[in-house]
């Protein structure tokens, strides 16, 4: 797969930000450094699997968005977790401190298995997630 020059430059720039050499990235991709160099220079095409690996290794969400069909299942799961954390963050920011303490305590009990999802307090958590998800999905 031929990557446009701007993506090859973005990959090289991200490598610099992360202090990764071509040899480091090539090792992670399990290819030779000269092969990676040729691919970054546009002399050889990338494999689809390499694009997905690079997007994951370098945490380049823009590359993943442009080539979503090549994103690994692990990266998809990371996106969902990130979105869920954003929902929680928005929810928690909107709560007064005393309510936040109650919600966090309730979550801890649920996660520890000491409280069933239908128990008192679970309604507050469901309502909180509903309100926050509408706000978050409207801004994402």
Q: What is the pLDDT of residue 36?
A: 96
Give the position of tokens 């969400």.
61
Report residue 39 as tokens: 């691919």
Secondary structure, 3-state, 43-66? CCCCCHHHHHHHHHHCCCHHHHHH
Q: What is the pLDDT of residue 42?
A: 94
Which of helix, strand or coil describes residue 140?
A: coil
Where are the domains positioned within the chain?
A: 5-71, 74-139
CB count, 10 Å around CB of 71?
A: 19
Q: What is the pLDDT of residue 26?
A: 92
Kindly report the average pLDDT of the chain as a whole number: 76
Q: What is the pLDDT of residue 138?
A: 44
Give the position of tokens 């160099």.
37
Give the position of tokens 């298995």.
113
DSSP type of residue 2? P
Q: How many helices (H) and strands (E) does the chain have?
A: 8, 0
Q: Is the pLDDT of residue 52 over 70?
A: yes
Q: Say which CATH class 5-71 falls into.
A: mainly alpha
Torsion of CA 84, 86, 88, 93, to 10 degrees: -170
């Amino acid at each position: 797969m031929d990557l446009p020059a701007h993506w090859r430059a973005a990959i090289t720039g991200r490598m610099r930000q992360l202090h990764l050499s071509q040899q480091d990235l090539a090792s992670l991709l399990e290819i030779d450094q000269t092969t990676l160099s040729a691919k970054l220079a546009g002399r050889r095409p990338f494999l689809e699997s390499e694009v997905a690996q690079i997007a994951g290794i370098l945490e380049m969400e823009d590359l993943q968005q442009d080539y979503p069909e090549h994103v690994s299942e692990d990266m998809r799961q990371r996106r969902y977790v990130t979105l869920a954390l954003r929902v929680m963050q928005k929810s928690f920011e909107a709560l007064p401190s005393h309510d936040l303490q109650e919600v966090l305590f309730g979550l801890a009990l649920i996660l520890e298995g000491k409280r069933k999802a239908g128990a008192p307090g679970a309604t507050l958590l469901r309502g909180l997630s509903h309100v926050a998800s509408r706000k978050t999905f409207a801004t994402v």
